[in-house]
Amino acid sequence: MTEAELIAGCQRADSKAQKHLYERFASPMLGVSRRYLKNEMDAEEALLNGFMKIYRNIGQFENKGSFEGWVRRIMVNEALAFLRKKEPLHLAIEDSHIQVAGTGGADQDLAEGELLALLGTLPAGYRAVFNLYAIEGYAHQEIANMLGITEGTSKSQLSKARAMLQRRLTGQEAITN
């Protein structure tokens, strides 16, 4: 089934098309949800809620840009909404996270699971900004709008998240989760 046929079928509420859509995108979109949410069950719930939104709103997809990008944006927004309900997005400056880590011998060949686990140890606000900027590719202004923060706060949180990850990778900071 081509992407156009898949979209058309979902717009007609065809259950086979919806099943194909889920099968095609569930695994990568679960990965998106996992990057934002610590708990596997929360990530799965956000995934299912995201697919429900996709099915309800697929008529709004205008064939401008990539369909996968449209699906991903819905999943990111759903994960962020779930994150806001579950964990406060602490975006305040924390003195212990200000110093920049030194260069060390961090292993650059982390397995995907190890990287996800390490990202999961970040405070919710740091994790959200890091994911949106470094992984999803959003600009700081977009992140600020999505999270209801200033662009400067977004930049600051990204810097602190990177420094914290670097310190943890080099063993200069213990993981506390």
User: Which SS3 state, helix, strand or coil, does residue 48 take?
Assistant: helix
Cβ contacts of residue 177 below 8 Å, gap of 6+? 38, 120, 121
Contact 72, 32 (CB under 8 A): yes
Cβ–Cβ under 8 Å, residues 129 and 161 = yes
Place of tokens 């806001």: 84
Q: In the chain, what are the domains?
A: 3-86 (1.10.1740.10), 95-169 (1.10.10.10)
CB burial readout 63-83, b (16+ within 10 A) else e: eeeebeebbbbbbbebbbebb
Give percent helix, percent strand, percent coil of the chain, each to the nearest 5.
70, 0, 30
What pLDDT does residue 13 have? 94
Tens-binned pLDDT, residue by residue, of the chain (177 aa)? 899 999 999 999 999 999 999 999 999 999 999 999 888 999 999 999 999 999 999 999 988 889 999 999 999 999 999 988 876 655 443 433 333 333 343 444 556 677 778 888 888 889 999 999 998 899 999 999 998 889 999 999 999 999 998 888 887 766 655
- The model's pTM: 0.74
- The gap from C-alpha 12 to its chain's centroid, in whole angstroms, comes to 29
On whether the CB atoms of residues 82 and 52 are closer than 8 A, the answer is no
Q: How far apart are CA 162 and CA 134, in angstroms?
A: 10
- Name residue 55's amino acid: Y
